Amino acid sequence: MTSADYSTPNTSLSYYGDCYTSVTVGVEVENACGTSGKTNTNIGTAPCGNFYSIVPNPVQDIITITTGDQTNMTAKSGPSSSSANSIAQIKIYNSNGVVVKLVQYNERKKQVQIDVADIAGGLYFIEVSNGNNRQTKKLLIVR
């Protein structure tokens, strides 16, 4: 990310980085009385809606999970890390928060298939993690 010189208050500074990124912004104010000390603020960016997709949903037996296309979302200071667009772990929870299926990958994957035929029909929550961040969506298993 590049630094900017803004002289007007309430100015926005755009960030073109990865989804689920934590950005530290340093603010220093200069006016006729002098310069303030620099204040750093940590800002978490909003999750991207396309971190991953699940098809089909509702599902009977096998789901395919694919990471979102974030190739155009790179920081101005350089390319994004490859782990941002990968799948490291998948958890499927029931409505009571109990993990009914856990799959971990030693190598990061961009697309995986999960067999859910052994899970009873109903509403579940599926959490996909890239190792640093995670996103949870609803999953409906029908029988």
Please tell me the predicted confidence (pLDDT) of residue 83: 62
- The whole-number pLDDT of residue 70 equals 43
Q: Which of 68, 119, 67, 125 is nearest to 92 (CA)?
A: 125
pLDDT of residue 79: 38
pLDDT along the chain (143 residues), means of 10: 54 56 69 77 60 92 83 37 76 94 93 97 94 89 95
Q: What is the pTM of this model?
A: 0.59
CA–CA gap between residue 95 and residue 26 (Å, rounded): 42
Q: Look at residue 116 and give its three-state secondary structure.
A: coil
* CATH code that applies to domain 52-141: 2.60.40.10
**Residue 38 corresponds to which tokens in the numbers above?**
């620099």
| pLDDT at residue 42 in the model | 66
- 125 phi, psi to nearest 5 deg: -120, 130
> Exposure of 125 by Cβ count < 10 A (0-12 exposed, 13-18 middle, 19+ buried)?
middle
